Chains A and B, each alone.
Chain A
Amino acid sequence: MIIAEGKPLAEVAGLIQGARKVLVVGCGGCVTVCLAGGEKETGILAAALRLLRQKEGNPLETVEVTLTRQCDPEYVDMLEKYVTDDVDAIVSLACGVGVQFLAERYNKWVVPALNTKFAGGTVEHGVWEERCGLCGECILYKTGGICPIIRCSKSILNGPCGGSQNGKCEVNPETPCAWQLIYDRMQALGKLDLLMEIQPPKDWSKSRDGGPRKVVREDVRLA
């Protein structure tokens, strides 16, 4: 899932300074699971913004809505009845995708309440770690299911490098060396010989090359 983290309250308040009525829109997708922008966080942010503005003697009216997902037009459409003329701004608690979908759909000032961090997973309740670099061409089958692109600080394909010490990365001694993990895993699987093959440079054209990426499935298109 996409992992995000709330922006500081003062920053969000600054983004809607001139507004009198705002829509605070949560997202029921990834950010609900990573406890950053679900219904609960939407309620807390709205209450905190109202309190802050009440204290400043400039009351703010909030309307809270949590959409199933902000990255699908069919759900974004459901916000329409709340986007009235008197709404001055929309605060989105989705990842960057959701913020953009709201901004594209509605002619309002849309601001993000979260910082979108990475594609990762829950390692324990309240702790999320990055696992995927979204590089566009998965090579996990070569590395025992451990991604060297994102989990190795240098994204090297033929590791480990000289900075791997006692199984840790030289960039941060708390980060396990991805190539040490790969080696250990391949050894446990009895597939160490696969690591003997030298990997050629990665084809980065599948990644951020050529601007924003697009996936099209002709078989499921309706039009």
Chain B
Amino acid sequence: MQEFEPKIIAFCCYYCAYSAADLAGSLRLQYPANIRVIEMPCSGKTDVRVLLEAFEDGADGVYVLGCMEGDCHFLKGNFRAKRRVQQAKKILDEIGIGGERLEMYNLSAAMGPRFAEIAREFTERIRKLGPSPLNKKYASANSRKAGEQE
């Protein structure tokens, strides 16, 4: 049976994670191809609704990357993101999708290796959790298709 490949959305702050992703690329660091990076002007742009809609649109996991605490370009954006992520985690728990499928990490633009490490760490976490309950049907359809090919 084909191994489950999670679909993960990484919302990245322009001032840290987005540059860290560039750096990880320049350093030729390997990280899972499961993550889809979305650039944000600041992690403070994080919106609970958008996080939920990512799951609705098929994500198995979502994470938000913001600057180190105290280093936000807009001073408090990353603290606001942290609280919104907490709120969205609570809603995901209530729905039964599970708050552990959503996380917030902090890093700086100089931390390319950390960017790759987070991608590996989070992908591993979601791989262990399995497909999102919303994608179960899709996942089994996928595995059936894989079975047919074999």
Binding site for B on A (CB under 8 A): 8-10, 40, 43-44, 47-48, 50-52, 54-55
| CA A44 to CA B95, docked complex, whole Å | 13
Q: Is the CB of A55 within 8 A of B56?
A: no
Report chain B residues within 8 Å CB of A52: 94-96
Tell me if A8 and B94 are in contact (CB < 8 A).
yes
B9 to chain A, nearest CB (A): 15
Residue B121 interfacial (CB < 8 Å): no
A9, A50, A51, A52 — most chain B CB neighbours (10 Å): A51
B28 sits at the interface (CB 8 A): no
Closest to B92 in A: A51
- Whether a CB of chain A sits under 8 angstroms from the CB of B23 is no
Q: Which of A9, A43, A55 interacts with B49 by CB under 8 Å?
A: A43
5 contacts between A and B (CB under 8 A): A9-B94, A51-B95, A52-B94, A52-B95, A52-B96
Contacts A9-B91, A9-B94, A44-B91 given: A51-B55 contact, CB under 8 Å? yes
- Pair A55/B48 contact, Cβ less than 8 Å: no
Query: Which of B47, B53, B91, B95 is A55 in contact with, Cβ under 8 Å?
Result: B95
Q: Does any Cβ of A come within 8 Å of B133's Cβ? A: yes
**Interface SS majority for chain B:** helix
Any chain A CB within 8 A of the CB of B97?
A: yes
Which chain A positions have C-beta within 8 A of B91?
Answer: 9, 44, 48
Give min CB distance, B55 to chain A, whole Å: 6
Closest chain B CB from A125 CB (angstroms)? 11
B116 close to chain A: CB less than 8 A: no
* Docked CA distance A190–B91 (Å): 52
Using Cβ atoms and an 8 Å threshold, which residues of chain B touch A9?
A: 91, 94-95
Which residues of chain B from 31 to 72 have a CB within 8 Å of any chain A CB?
47-49, 52-53, 55-56
Q: What 9 pairs across the A-B complex have the smallest Cβ distances? A: A47-B52, A43-B49, A9-B94, A52-B95, A44-B49, A55-B133, A51-B95, A44-B48, A48-B91
What is the distance, in angstroms, from B7's C-beta to the closest C-beta of chain A? 16
Chain B residues in 8 Å Cβ range of A43:
49
Across the interface, name the chain A residue whose C-beta is closest to B132: A55
Assess whether B134 is interfacial by the CB under 8 Å rule. yes
Q: Bound complex: CA of A54 vs CA of B96, how far in Å?
A: 11
> For residues 85 through 133 of chain B, which have their beta carbon under 8 Å from a beta carbon of chain A?
91, 94-97, 133
Q: Which of A8, A48, A55 contacts B52 (CB 8 A)?
A: A48
* Cβ-defined contact, B49 with A51, below 8 A: no
Of chain B, the residue at the smallest CB distance from A51 is B95
Q: Name the B residues within 8 Å of A10 (CB-CB).
A: 94
Nearest opposing residue in chain B for A9, CB measure = B94
Q: Which residues of A contact B133 (CB under 8 A)?
A: 55
Q: B56, B95, B96 — which one has the most chain A CB atoms within 10 A of its CB?
A: B95
A118 to B77, CA, bound (A): 31
Q: Which residues of A are found within 8 Å of B49, using beta-carbon distances?
A: 40, 43-44, 47
Alpha-carbon gap, A40 to B46, bound state (A): 13
Closest to B94 in A: A9
Q: Kindly state the separation between the CA atoms of A48 and B97 in the bound complex, as whole angstroms.
A: 11
List B contacts of A44 (CB < 8 A). Answer: 48-49, 52, 91
